[in-house]
Amino acid sequence: MAAVEKIGVIGAGQMGCGIAHVCALAGYNVHVYDLSQDRIEAGLATINGNFARQVSNGKLAEEDRKAALSRIAGSSDMNDLAPMDLVIEAATEEEAIKRKIYAQLCPILKPEALLATNTSSLSITRLAAATDRPERFMGIHFMNPVPVMKLVELVRGIATDETTFTTAREFVATLDKTVTVAEDFPAFIVNRILLPMINEAIYTLYEGVGSVEAIDTAMKLGANHPMGPLQLADFIGLDTCLSIMQVLHDGLADSKYRPCPLLVKYVEAGWLGRKSGRGFYDYRGETPVPTR
């Protein structure tokens, strides 16, 4: 298999921008694709801002920032991904959307190109079956925020071949990340453990055991968590939390994974957390205020 030099990233959202950021910093040429030029420009501005923050914090030299930025391009034309050696899909956590992307992408890619998904919960085997290269497809799941978090979960589908896995493992090592290997079960390792904890925190709020502030303070000071579970849910996005809980509930058929009705209600209200301005906290003022 040819060496990985050119990386394509599908999605200029929080995850896609983070993946592009770490790949460019590691010396790869990166091309980001999204549906509109506006999204691309907003994504590139986010990456530039994150690089600038690293410079101001003394974690990155100015010349390294300029060099990394020069290695990132973006467009709303999927055909620009044709020369890529590895394409990482970081689109919305909806299987139908991912399948539609693969149907458009696969005919464009060169036959030897690897395809990976950054899904946090969906079946790698099932997604791979929607492509023309299941043996060259796998899960490369980065944690959010990508530039900060050291872990990457590698997940093989039933058809993923050993060369693909080895190449992915070597690629992740060049990004200064630590690999953990997970089997292809719903939500893998991190979210299999993390999301039920968040869901239980929401049940604790729903049942009136404690307020938003009480629950987050209890877990920060009582369990030494850097961020309370409700604050973390807002950071992840309540729609993403709900989606992962639904995957766990559907995939494992166990009532302990039932999404809390309050989580469902917040998502139905469009209160998705930080990105929408309101979730378990209201972010529209100078400081976040609990909404319950």
Is 199 tagged catalytic? no
Catalytic residue among 50, 118, 121, 191: 191
Catalytic residue among 50, 118, 120, 243: 120
Is 135 tagged catalytic? no
* Cα separation values, 4 from 68, 79, 117, 165, Å: 17, 19, 16, 13
Q: Tokens 């039920």 label which residue?
A: 196
Q: Is 247 exposed, middle or buried (0-12, 13-18, 19+ CB in 10 A)?
A: buried
Is 141 tagged catalytic? yes
Give CA 270 to chain center in angstroms.
20
Catalytic residue among 21, 89, 153, 199: 153
Strand partners of residue 137:
115
CB 154 within 8 A of CB 183: no
Q: Using CA atoms in the order 182, 162, 90, 242, what is the torsion angle rounded to 10 degrees?
A: -30
CB 22 within 8 A of CB 63: no
Is 31 tagged catalytic? no
Catalytic residue among 21, 141, 199, 243: 141
Catalogue the active-site residues. 120, 141, 153, 191
